[in-house]
Amino acid sequence: MTSLVLTVVGADRAGLVATVAEVVDAHGGNWERSELAELSGTFAGVIEVSVPPQRADELREALTVVDGFVTVVVPTGQAAVPSTERRLVVRVLGNDRPGIVREITAVLSGSGISIERMTTSSRDAAMAGGRLFEAAVTASVPVSTDVDAVVSRLEDLATDIQVDVQVLAAD
């Protein structure tokens, strides 16, 4: 089987996922895994499908009928985290303000840490007023990285920008 990664981005509408699933199925493909979301009327997703090699080009062509929403990529590299890396989960909670994502991700990137998944949201703070920001980041950490030093930098940053940061081993 050949793996293909589909990206779907566009104005949200009913039946978009069903249309993509029908095209994949009609061309002998199998929906392996996906991350899909709607934000402010825009739909975005990443979908991994497998398809017999002799039908991959046919599937790519068929997906062009989905109103230009779908881009197909043949994955390069290995999807799994190599054994030389570990996973961490970083959780952030605090009063919302510009720059939180930039500052947290700068610490991670500066330490050679790669973000695998990140979810963020903001909501009204029920009792205190204002807005709360929340993030959950799953990241790959090279074995050579001093995790304690990264945690220390994140804790220092959390104090500076007045948020709570929690770092957990994901493995």
pLDDT tens digits, one per residue of 2-52: 999 999 998 888 888 999 999 999 999 999 999 999 999 999 999 999 999
Of the candidates 5, 81, 12, the one whose C-alpha atom is nearest the C-alpha of residue 47 is 5
Q: In what order do the strands lie in the sheet with 131-142?
A: 114-124, 131-142, 85-95, 163-169
Give the Cα separation of 74 and 89 in Å (integer): 28
Whole-model pTM: value is 0.76
pLDDT in tens, 44-80: 999 999 999 999 999 998 988 776 677 887 776 655 5
Give the Cα separation of 127 and 88 in Å (integer): 31
